[in-house]
A and B are shown apart, each in its own frame.
Chain A
Amino acid sequence: MVGKVGRVTGTIGPGRTGEVVISIRGGTEAFLAHAVESDQTIPQNARVVVVEYYPPRTVYVAPA
């Protein structure tokens, strides 16, 4: 999971819960996403890379 590149489908920002879509397990799955740096805003359709994964459904991402 860590190191996979995904695409933002819901804007990630401070105080918001964003969404990224990652290609995994043969299909694409949506994860609740937050930015690694807490004041960063990552807009929709930006490419991100998964830095940390907290199961079941939360990832921390950084812009790719």
Chain B
Amino acid sequence: MSPLAVIGGAAVVVVVLLFLLFRAMWRVAEPNEALIISGFHQDAVEGVAESLGFKIVTGKGSLVMPGIQRVRYLSLDANETELDITCVTTQGIPVSVKAVVIYKVGDDYASISNAARRFLDKTQDELEQKIKNVFEGHLRSIVGGLTVEQMIREREALTEATRRHSGEEMQKLGLVIDSLQIKEIDDTTGYIKNLAAPHAAEVQKQARIAQAQADREATEQEQQAEALKAAARRETEIKKAGFQAEMDRAQREAAQAGPLAEQIATQRVVVERTKVAELEADRTEQQLQAEIRKPADAEAYRQRTLAQADRDSRISRAEAAAKETELAAAAAAQRTKIEAAANAEKVRVEAEAQAGSVEAVGRAEGEARRARGLAEADSLRAQGLANADAVKARAEALAVNQDAVIAQQLAERAVDIVAAAAKPVGDIDNLVVFNGTDGIQDAVMQSISKGFAALQALRATLSVPVTGNGTSASPSPNSKERAPDGLGVGPGREV
């Protein structure tokens, strides 16, 4: 074995060992990582006020002494967390918000230092959970500082609110919010729907107006077309009717032509016949003239002449007879006059005799009648006296017991009395009562009470002490009429 070979072999081994050692000690930070090397004290670096104590390496490699220094990796990746909260906006409208936030550890030394001190040992999931809890609180306060309209419409307002509410805490944690986006806003009160309602209603209104307008115009045009159509139809119908009328008229004329001609022909025939008949009549008349009238005239003349002669003879005869009669009558008259004179004389004498006898008879009769009358008068007087006695007796009885007698008398005449009292009422055509049933009652009561008043009056009259004059106590129509006038009747009168 040559020493050269040994040295060479040892040199190779040393190189390999060094390489392996280097490999074990050299750590490289990837772009999305930061190496946190602690072990040796680290001096202050630029941008940081005091010394960190540990070394932060980003973007390059570093030698780490194994055993003396420890190296940890802090991820500078962007993390995403979904948030889901229910909260109220600044106007108090309850909304349920879904958001997503993208954050990472800041790239400057201070942020990395803050984050390293807090999150180095945490896994990604734990970190995410912590950030979710913290950020939901932030989101609640962010939403509480905005209105629904701002959240929907103004991006600027949302990002500014995010910075304002969460900026400080994020700086404390060493984190940076790259993006906060609201995925969904859901409100249970229908506020968002109501935001849209006026606009939607306006658009709907416009649509309906346009539709109605178009409909109306179309209908107008349609109706105009209909009207024109109807007018055209009317024209044709009128023309057709006119032609039809002409045709009918021509047809009827043609139809009538035949009968018309017939009638004309018949008329002519009739006219000719009439002429013929006239001629016939003339002929017959002529015939009549010749056959009958002339001989008749002759005959008439004969008769007339004969009659005239007859008349003349009769006239003279009559004259003679009249004369005769006159003379006879004169004679008769004379005779009668004489007879009458004789009769008259006879009668006069008779009458005188008769008169004498009648006078005698009459005188006798008169005597008889006077005697009779006297007898009657006597009897009447006797009767009257008896009546008077009776009445006196009655009056006496009345004085003793007025009521019974009066009652009896009144009862006998009650019907008449009441009838007489009711007569005026019976003459009433129209009874107008102003106070209804009470009024009718009053009227009836008044009628009744009038009758009773009459009775009462009668009773009063009848109960006059007897002075011996029977007539004063007898009931008569006069007293009846007087009583009601004198007493007068009112409601509630005791009867």
Q: Is A23 an interface residue (CB 8 A)?
A: no
Q: How far does the alpha carbon of A47 sit from the alpha carbon of B171 in the complex, in Å?
A: 24
Q: Is B378 an interface residue (CB 8 A)?
A: no
Asked whether, in the complex, the Cβ of B107 is within 8 Å of the Cβ of A17, the reply is no
Asked whether, in the complex, the Cβ of B156 is within 8 Å of the Cβ of A56, the reply is no
- Which residues 8-52 in A have Cβ within 8 Å of B in the complex? 10-11, 16-19, 25-27, 29-30, 32, 44
Q: How far does the alpha carbon of A16 sit from the alpha carbon of B159 in the complex, in Å?
A: 11
- A33 nearest CB neighbor, chain B only: B163
Asked whether, in the complex, the Cβ of A56 is within 8 Å of the Cβ of B174, the reply is yes
- With most chain A CB atoms within 10 A of its CB, the pick from B48, B170, B176 is B176
Asked whether, in the complex, the Cβ of B160 is within 8 Å of the Cβ of A1, the reply is no
Q: Is B420 an interface residue (CB 8 A)?
A: no
How many positions in chain B have a CB within 8 Å of any CB in the partner chain?
A: 22
Which chain B positions have C-beta within 8 A of A30?
Answer: 176, 178
Output the least CB separation between B165 and chain A (Å).
9
Which chain A positions have C-beta within 8 A of B174?
Answer: 56
Output the least CB separation between A17 and chain B (Å).
4
Q: A17's contact among B47, B108, B164, by CB below 8 Å, is which?
A: B164
Asked whether, in the complex, the Cβ of A56 is within 8 Å of the Cβ of B108, the reply is yes
Interface residue SS majority, chain B = helix
Q: A10-B159, A10-B160 are in contact. Are A56 and B167 (CB under 8 A)?
A: no
Asked whether, in the complex, the Cβ of B171 is within 8 Å of the Cβ of A56, the reply is yes
Which chain B positions have C-beta within 8 A of A55?
Answer: 47-49, 108-111
Q: How far does the alpha carbon of A26 sit from the alpha carbon of B107 in the complex, in Å?
A: 11
Q: A17-B160, A29-B107 are in contact. Are A57 and B171 (CB under 8 A)?
A: yes
Q: How far does the alpha carbon of A32 sit from the alpha carbon of B111 in the complex, in Å?
A: 13
Q: A1-B47, A10-B156, A32-B171 are in contact. Are A56 and B164 (CB under 8 A)?
A: no
Q: Is B106 an interface residue (CB 8 A)?
A: yes
Q: Mark B149-180, 1 if CB is under 8 A from A, else 0.
A: 00000001001100110010011001010100
Q: How far does the alpha carbon of A44 sit from the alpha carbon of B114 in the complex, in Å?
A: 30
Asked whether, in the complex, the Cβ of A19 is within 8 Å of the Cβ of B163, the reply is yes
Q: B163's contact among A32, A53, A56, by CB below 8 Å, is which?
A: A32
Which chain A positions have C-beta within 8 A of B106?
Answer: 29, 56-57
- A9 nearest CB neighbor, chain B only: B159
- Which residues 186-228 in B have Cβ within 8 Å of A in the complex? none
Q: A10-B160, A11-B160 are in contact. Are A17 and B48 (CB under 8 A)?
A: no
Q: How far does the alpha carbon of A46 sit from the alpha carbon of B167 in the complex, in Å?
A: 22
Q: How far does the alpha carbon of A26 sit from the alpha carbon of B60 in the complex, in Å?
A: 14
A11-B156, A17-B164, A55-B47 are known; give 13 further A-B pairs, CB within 8 A. A10-B163, A17-B160, A17-B163, A29-B176, A32-B163, A32-B167, A32-B171, A53-B47, A55-B49, A55-B110, A57-B108, A57-B170, A57-B176
18 residue pairs from A and B, CB less than 8 Å apart: A10-B156, A16-B164, A17-B164, A18-B160, A18-B163, A19-B159, A25-B108, A27-B107, A29-B106, A32-B163, A32-B171, A56-B171, A56-B174, A57-B106, A57-B108, A57-B167, A57-B170, A57-B176
